[in-house]
Amino acid sequence: MHPIASDTDWAARARAVFPAGGLGNFDPSICIASGHGARVTDTDGNTYVDYLIGSGPMLLGHNPPEVIDAICAQLPHGMTFFANNPFAIELAEEICAAVPCAEQLRFLASGGEADMYAMRLARAYTGRDRIIKFEGGYHGMSAEAQMSLAPEQRANFPQAIPDSAGIPAAVAEHMLIAPFNDIDYIRSLLAEYGPQVAAIIVEPLQRIIPPEPGFLQTLRDEADKHGCLLIFDEVVTGFRFAYGGAQALYGATPDLCTLGKVIGGGMPLAAIAGRADIMAHFDKSKVGAENWLMMLGTLSGNPVAAVAGLKTLEILRRDGAYDTLRQRGEEVMAMTRTALDASGHPYQIVGDPTLFEVVFTETPVRDYRDVQSSNTARAAAYNASLRANGIFKSPGKTYPCLALTDDDLARTQSAITAAARALS
């Protein structure tokens, strides 16, 4: 392996070659050199308990031996072929058997690609142009997805606000923005625009915000009523919440779903899956040239990612895997409550034991605006203290993983206690 120089100013080198000094994903002031289990070490030699875990894909922890062995066994036989391979077929079979909506699927290299294709596929299938998405919902980097993801100014629904430069104004005309968890609003929106709507795209758990009882089923019922498709973005929740994803946990089945992160076992892999009659639009022989949706990807379904995904899913099928994951998450939630209750600051722990975050507010969190109205300065101070005390995490999410040990949890508890005291 190429040696990593410990006496190098990596941040300065990054600033010279990367715009804004980073890869665009995370705080560029930190440079990670290695990860093992539930810990990562930076280029300065600092070790952290990792609750970022690559933004979700490392559900088993870093460098799980069985997954590494599977990858190493495949490497001498080829890394990518731009053609069918047995492992991609086997992985597709396993996903279709596990995920309720999945009759067929296509692989891609990233979740953002999958979301983009899902919206395009809905338009091809329905012959309609408009897409409903929820304010604050993350669906990748396409022009459609970059509408009202993180608007700095509030607009009246359903107006779409672009989050990035370079997006044509016409894109906003085809996007309808709704507040998450508002059943009455989605009904009224579809009553007005229903015949124009190709699909509703939603994260079943939006970032960290759970759906209220009946919300997802209402989306299912309203989509059926108005002849549009329901898309679950399960790039994050797929195979994290349950073996069949959030749709299996919550009991609401979409027409299409997107998957990523966990299904590649740490390698670049994503998928769009759904009903066979919808997926038929990827088959020109079935739908004709006018209705065919072209889809190409140089690394889509490559055998290295496929074997990593197959081994990861095999491990997740073992007895007790999800019970252990949820237990670990619940332990971190409990130690957070104990520390923050003592601090006296109002807060909510929002999410699921497999993915959650602290929001400093007295108000129940139902949607994006509730999060934005919270004490974000206090949250920033809390997260900065966690980092200083050896916890590596996103400013807005906590991802537990199966590799967490008792020692990791003890260090986590110490850091949470220190961070809560620092707020006081």
**Which residues are known catalytic residues?**
138, 233, 261
Going by C-beta distance under 8 Å and a sequence separation of 6 or more, which residues neighbour residue 140?
Answer: 110, 111, 112, 113, 114, 115, 116, 235
Residue type, 322: Y
**Residue bearing tokens 């939630």:** 333
For 340-354, letters b (16+ CB in 10 Å) and e give beebebebbbbbbbb
**Residue bearing tokens 């968890």:** 181
Are 105 and 172 spatial neighbours (Cβ–Cβ below 8 Å)? no
The shares of helix, strand and coil residues in the chain, as percent rounded to the nearest 5, are 45, 15, 40
**Residue bearing tokens 């990233």:** 110
φ, ψ dihedrals at 124, nearest 5°: -65, -40
φ, ψ dihedrals at 229, nearest 5°: -95, 155
Are 328 and 400 spatial neighbours (Cβ–Cβ below 8 Å)? yes
Strands 47-50 vs 39-42: parallel, antiparallel or unpaired:
antiparallel
Are 376 and 356 spatial neighbours (Cβ–Cβ below 8 Å)? no
Cα 231 to Cα 139: distance, rounded to the nearest angstrom: 11
**Residue bearing tokens 């015949």:** 195
DSSP conformational letter for 5: P
As a whole number of angstroms, the longest Cα–Cα distance in the chain is 66
Which of 373, 339, 338, 336 is closest to 357 using CA atoms?
A: 336
Cα 267 to Cα 58: distance, rounded to the nearest angstrom: 9
For 29, the token pair is: 């002031």
Are 292 and 119 spatial neighbours (Cβ–Cβ below 8 Å)? no
DSSP conformational letter for 282: G
For 183, the token pair is: 């059943």
Cα 382 to Cα 423: distance, rounded to the nearest angstrom: 7
